[in-house]
Structure 1
Amino acid sequence: MPQEGRFFELFNAHAQQVVDGGQALVSLMASLVDSPREAMAHAQAIDLFESKADKITSDTLALIHTSFITPFDRDEIHKLTNGLDDILDTIQDVAESLTLYDIRRVTPEARQLADLCLSCCLRVRTVVGLLDSMNNATGIMKTCAEIHQLESDADRVLRTAMSRLFRDEADVRQVIKLKVAYELLEAVTDRCETVAGIIEAIVLENS
């Protein structure tokens, strides 16, 4: 009979790709202005992590259909897997926008948003790693609450960034580029919060 543990191996592998993508995003942001070649390498690394995540998604969905026993509801597994994949897809969108739009100036707010993205990704990995036992329910809910708080922090940074951008930036092209970058960076934290919500629902239903 198929073992439940295989699902948790896939969840953890998926969450690790999320963290790898978040770390590469921060590195991309740090090197974008002074080391464009290095920045391109980080963008390519994000593409690789996203491809690995797609393979993990495919493996997880295949396992759903071939397993008689699953650790929790199949629809919840599907939502969690797609939610993790959405985080990496959005990180990839950020990287593509930064490189395609030829952004040459990185603002403090953009760096702050990238750091918040990574903080969310790290907590996603933590909370996914706790899912193998509902005895971890308290820790799971605490970590999910931290993700919600980080997403709220990102909202505040986004509002500040947008206000300063439209108030102080004279170059219309730069306004358009940075607006897209800010919104996509904040969207990464939104995707992490969505995963937190999915996991909270799993805990409430199964603990």
Structure 2
Amino acid sequence: MLFGKLLPREGNFFDMFNQHAERIVEAARAFSQLVANYGDQHLRDRYNLDVDSAERAADRVTHEVNRTLHKTFITPIDREQIHTLINTMDDVADLIQDAAETMALYDVQHVTEEITRLTDLNLKCCERVQEAVKLLARIAEPAVAESALKICEEIDRLESDADRVLRSAMSKLFREEMDVRELIKLRAIYELLESVTDRCEDVANIIEGIILENS
């Protein structure tokens, strides 16, 4: 019994998941504002910095989770689930930053309707991820587990919506865009934005697995 008491236990993993999810939403909201104010260079630069700041903060949380995982013998959920969840969540923040950076590097001159629609879907997905993550600490309660699963289903639907927007955007792009350079730029942006929802769906799938194994 004494040996068991001396072992490092649990760690505040759920708190750190919540902190990371908050940073994801911060990045998504900053990117949404960047898109909404794209015509204003000053605001564009400001929101780019906000995206970068949120992504760096998310990286710090990811590092802390992985560090704590190495020091903790007894964890509240499976160790591999903790590792996979936090790193997949970090991919979401990274992709949002990639999208903002790519728009700047490619010198995109205007925001298309498709960029706006994909950005809106990204923000909704990230907000739903945050809601689902908040419930992880209480998934032993059947009602909480059911609520989390419903949120994960909504993320799946949003990802499907983003798929449809991407397919429509690509079709329109290759039919109507005569400037090859602009086509290449927009294609890269569209694919990056859609990949954010893909990664959110991956997070939802991991959460579903955690719920099914632990509730």
**Bin for the TM-score computed over the shorter chain:** over 0.9
Question: Quick one: distance in 1 between partners of 2:107 and 2:35?
Answer: 12
Question: Quick one: distance in 1 between partners of 2:31 and 2:146?
Answer: 30
Question: Quick one: distance in 2 between partners of 1:5 and 1:132?
Answer: 12
Q: Indicate the residue corresponding to 1:151 in structure 2.
A: 159
Runs of at least 5 residues in structure 1 that lack an aligned partner in the other structure? none
User: For residue 20 of structure 2, what is the amino acid of its counterpart?
Assistant: H
Q: Indicate the residue corresponding to 2:106 in structure 1.
A: 101
Could you tell me how far 1:71 is from its partner in structure 2? 1.0
SS of equivalent to 1:54: helix
User: For residue 98 of structure 1, what is the amino acid of its counterpart?
Assistant: M
Question: Quick one: distance in 2 between partners of 1:133 and 1:65?
Answer: 24
The question of whether the paired residues in 2 share the 8 Å contact of 1:40 and 1:99 is answered with no
One of 174, 182, 185 as aligned partner of 1:177: 185
Q: Indicate the residue corresponding to 2:137 in structure 1.
A: 132
Q: Indicate the residue corresponding to 1:11 in structure 2.
A: 17
- 1:70 pairs with 2:78: no
User: For residue 151 of structure 2, what is the amino acid of its counterpart?
Assistant: T
The question of whether the paired residues in 2 share the 8 Å contact of 1:113 and 1:185 is answered with yes
Q: Indicate the residue corresponding to 2:37 in structure 1.
A: 31
Q: Indicate the residue corresponding to 1:116 in structure 2.
A: 121
User: For residue 127 of structure 1, what is the amino acid of its counterpart?
Assistant: A
Question: Quick one: distance in 2 between partners of 1:126 and 1:160?
Answer: 29
Q: Indicate the residue corresponding to 1:20 in structure 2.
A: 26
Question: Quick one: distance in 2 between partners of 1:132 and 1:202?
Answer: 11
SS of equivalent to 1:182: helix
- 1:41 pairs with 2:46: yes
Could you tell me how far 1:68 is from its partner in structure 2? 2.8
User: For residue 19 of structure 2, what is the amino acid of its counterpart?
Assistant: A
User: For residue 209 of structure 2, what is the amino acid of its counterpart?
Assistant: A
Question: Quick one: distance in 1 between partners of 2:71 and 2:159?
Answer: 36
The question of whether the paired residues in 1 share the 8 Å contact of 2:11 and 2:68 is answered with no
Runs of at least 5 residues in structure 2 that lack an aligned partner in the other structure? none
- 1:141 pairs with 2:149: yes
User: For residue 36 of structure 1, what is the amino acid of its counterpart?
Assistant: Q
The question of whether the paired residues in 2 share the 8 Å contact of 1:19 and 1:125 is answered with yes
Question: Quick one: distance in 2 between partners of 1:161 and 1:151?
Answer: 15
User: For residue 153 of structure 1, what is the amino acid of its counterpart?
Assistant: D
The question of whether the paired residues in 2 share the 8 Å contact of 1:43 and 1:95 is answered with yes
User: For residue 168 of structure 2, what is the amino acid of its counterpart?
Assistant: T
Question: Quick one: distance in 1 between partners of 2:129 and 2:48?
Answer: 21
Which ranges of 4 or more aligned residues in structure 1 deviate by more than 6 Å?
none
Relative to the length of structure 1, the TM-score reads 0.96
Mean CA deviation greater in 64-73 or 180-189:
64-73
SS of equivalent to 1:142: helix
Work out which of the two has the higher radius of gyration on C-alpha atoms and give 1 or 2: 2
